[in-house]
C-alpha cells in the first residue's frame, strides 16, 4: 500500500486593516497626484487638442473670408478632401514633399555623421569649430532664406559671381523649375547639419573607449571598428535623429516661401506650402485645413515611430 504525499498549502497572509490615518494619507497622495496632472492635461487640451479638433472640423466646412463677417461656415462633408485629392497640385506637392524630405534627411545625416566622427578626435580648436557649426541654428529661418536668396540670385548672387571667375555661365538656381527644388533642398541641408552633428556627436561620446581598445587588439580598427562598435552603439540615437529630422522637414514652410514662394511653376510646392497657399493666399481655409490634416497624419505616423523607438531604447 503506497501513500501519496499531499502538497503543503502555505497559509496566505491576511492584509491588515488600514488605519484611518493611512487611508487619509493615501487619499491625499492620490489627490495631489491628480492636482499635478490636471494643469498639464488642461494645457495639452487647450493648446494642442483644440487646434487639431478645430482644424478637423474646419476641413469639413466651407470656411472662407465670408465666415469672418457672417460667422457661417456651411457643412460640406468630404468635398474639400475630394477637391484636394483630385487636384494636380496635390500630386505635385506630395512628390515634392517626398523628394524634399528624403533628399534633406539623407544628406543632413551623412554630413552630420561625418562631422561628428571628425570632431570626436578632439583636436585643438575642435570646441570652437563646433560652436561655429551651430551658427545656422541661431539664425532665424526667414533671415537664412533671405541670405541664401541673395547668394543664389542669378544676376548678382555671390555663388554665380564665384562661378564666373572660372568661366561658368550664371546658373538660374531659383528660377529654373528643374533646379529650384535642388537649390531649396541644398539650403535645408545646410540648416539641418548642426542638429544632426550635435545629436550624433553626443551619441558618440557615450561609446566607451575600452571597446575600441579591446577591438584594436583583435585588429578591428577603422571601418571594422565603426561597423562592429560605433554603429551598433549609436543605432538608437540614429533612429531618433532620422525620425525627428523627418518630422521637422515635413513642416518646413518659411524657408521655401522665403526662397521661391513655392514656384517657379509650383516646382517647390510641398504639402506645407500648399496648405499655406490654400488658406492665406486663396483664402479657402477649409481646403487648406484638409491639406493640413493630410500632413498631420503623415507627421503623426512618424511621431508614433519616434515614441516606439525611444521607449525601446529606455527598455534596453
Please give the pLDDT value at position 185.
95
**Mean pLDDT, to the nearest integer, of 201-220?**
85
Q: What span, in angstroms and rounded, lies between the C-alpha atoms of 94 and 273? A: 11
Please determine, for residue 200, whether its predicted confidence score (pLDDT) is greater than 80: yes
Does the CA dihedral 274-182-107-128 come out positive or negative?
negative
**Which of 258, 128, 126, 127 lies closest to 191 in space, CA to CA?**
258
Cα-based distances in Å from 144 to 15, 108, 162, 244, 256: 67, 17, 20, 21, 11
234 — phi, psi (to 5°)?
Answer: -110, 15
Please give the pLDDT value at position 97.
93
Query: Mean pLDDT score of the chain, rounded to an integer?
Result: 86
181 neighbors 270 (Cβ within 8 angstroms): no
Sequence spans of domains, the chain: 90-315
pLDDT in tens, 258-291: 999 888 888 999 999 999 999 999 999 999 999 9
Q: What span, in angstroms and rounded, lies between the C-alpha atoms of 69 and 149? A: 38
Domain 90-315 has what CATH class?
Answer: mainly alpha
pLDDT in tens, 115-138: 999 988 878 888 888 888 888 888
The proportion of the chain whose per-residue pLDDT surpasses 70, expressed as a percent, equals: 92
Q: How many CA atoms lie within 13 A of 68 on its CB side?
A: 5
pLDDT in tens, 37-54: 899 999 999 998 999 999
Q: What residues contact 247, with CB distance under 8 A and at least 6 apart?
A: 299, 302, 303, 306
Q: What span, in angstroms and rounded, lies between the C-alpha atoms of 286 and 279? A: 8
**Mean pLDDT, to the nearest integer, of 14-27?**
73
Amino acid at each position: 500500500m503506497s501513500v501519496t504525499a499531499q502538497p503543503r498549502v502555505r497559509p496566505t497572509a491576511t492584509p491588515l486593516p488600514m488605519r484611518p490615518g493611512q487611508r487619509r494619507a493615501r487619499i491625499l497622495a492620490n489627490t495631489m497626484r491628480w492636482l499635478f496632472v490636471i494643469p498639464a492635461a488642461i494645457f495639452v487640451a487647450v493648446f494642442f487638442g483644440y487646434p487639431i479638433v478645430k482644424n478637423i472640423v474646419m476641413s469639413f466646412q466651407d470656411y472662407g473670408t465670408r465666415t469672418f463677417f457672417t460667422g457661417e461656415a456651411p457643412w460640406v462633408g468630404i468635398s474639400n478632401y475630394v477637391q484636394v485629392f483630385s487636384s494636380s497640385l496635390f500630386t505635385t506637392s506630395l512628390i515634392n514633399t517626398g523628394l524634399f524630405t528624403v533628399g534633406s534627411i539623407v544628406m543632413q545625416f551623412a554630413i552630420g555623421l561625418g562631422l561628428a566622427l571628425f570632431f570626436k578626435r578632439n583636436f585643438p580648436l575642435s570646441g570652437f569649430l563646433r560652436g561655429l557649426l551651430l551658427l545656422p541654428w541661431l539664425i532665424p529661418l526667414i533671415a537664412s532664406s533671405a541670405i541664401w536668396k541673395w547668394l543664389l540670385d542669378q544676376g548678382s548672387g555671390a555663388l554665380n559671381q564665384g562661378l564666373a571667375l572660372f568661366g561658368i555661365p550664371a546658373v538660374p538656381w531659383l528660377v529654373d523649375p528643374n533646379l529650384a527644388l535642388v537649390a531649396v533642398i541644398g539650403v535645408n541641408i545646410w540648416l539641418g547639419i548642426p542638429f544632426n552633428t550635435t545629436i550624433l556627436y553626443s551619441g558618440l561620446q557615450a561609446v566607451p573607449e575600452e571597446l575600441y581598445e579591446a577591438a584594436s587588439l583583435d585588429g578591428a580598427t577603422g571601418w571594422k571598428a565603426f561597423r562592429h562598435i560605433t554603429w551598433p552603439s549609436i543605432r538608437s540615437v540614429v533612429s531618433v535623429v532620422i525620425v525627428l529630422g523627418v518630422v521637422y522637414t515635413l513642416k518646413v514652410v518659411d524657408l521655401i516661401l522665403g526662397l521661391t514662394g513655392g514656384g517657379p511653376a509650383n516646382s517647390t510646392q510641398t504639402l506645407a506650402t500648399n496648405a499655406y497657399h490654400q488658406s492665406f493666399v486663396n483664402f479657402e481655409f477649409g481646403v487648406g485645413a484638409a491639406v493640413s490634416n493630410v500632413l498631420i497624419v503623415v507627421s503623426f505616423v512618424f511621431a508614433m515611430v519616434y515614441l516606439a523607438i525611444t521607449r525601446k531604447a529606455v527598455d534596453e
